Amino acid sequence: MNIKLLRNMIYVMIGLIGLYYIIFFIVPNYIMIPLAAWNSYQAFSESNSNTIVDDKTMNLDQNNLQNKVMVNYEFLAMMYRDPYFPNHVVDKGKLILIDLCFRIEKQSPQSLSELYDLTQEATEKFNLLQVVFDANNSEIETGARECIGADFVFIAKMYGFVDADVEELIASGEW
C-alpha cells in the first residue's frame, strides 16, 4: 500500500472522528443547555415568579423605610456597576433586600436567631432568583455572593445586630 494513500486515509479518519465529536458532543451542548435554561426559566416564570417578588414587594418604596441610613443606601451597588449582571434582574434582588428591611422594621426581631429566620427567607428568594440570572446568561457567582452577603451584613448592623455572622445570614444560599 502506498504511504501517501495510507496517510490520506488517516487524515480522513481523524476528520471523521472530529466531525463525530462536534456533531454528538459539541452541538447538543450548544442546543440543549440553552433549551434547558429556557425551560427552567419558563417553569420558574409560570409558577414561582410571585414567590420572589410579588405585587406587594413590587410596590415597596425604599424611601418609606424608617431607618434613614437604609433610605439612602445603594443596594447591590457592585452588581449594578458590572454589566455581567442584568439590571432588571438585580432590581429584583434589590427589592428582596428592601422587603427584608421592611420585615425587620415590622417584626422587630429581638435576637440573632429571629433575625436569621428573616434573612433565611430572603436568601431563599435569592435562590429562586438564580434561575432568572441563568436565563439571562448570568449567575450569582463569587463576586455577587460577596456583594449580597455584604448587604445582608450592612442591613443587620443598621438594625442593631452588630454581631451578625454573614455565613449565618445567608446560610441557606445555594449560590
| pLDDT tens-digit profile, the chain (175 residues) | 678 888 888 888 888 787 777 676 665 555 555 555 555 545 544 444 445 555 555 568 999 999 999 999 999 999 999 999 999 999 999 999 999 999 999 999 999 999 999 999 999 999 999 999 999 999 999 899 999 999 999 999 999 999 999 999 999 998 8
- Print the SS3 string covering 107-128: HCCCCHHHHHHHHHHHHHHHHH
DSSP state of 171: T
pTM of the model: 0.70
Per-residue CA distances from 97 to 21, 32, 73, 122, 126 (Å): 46, 34, 11, 7, 10
| Direct distance between the N- and C-terminal alpha carbons of the chain, in angstroms, rounded to an integer | 60
Q: In the structure grid, which three cell numbers stand for residue 75, read together?
A: 443596594
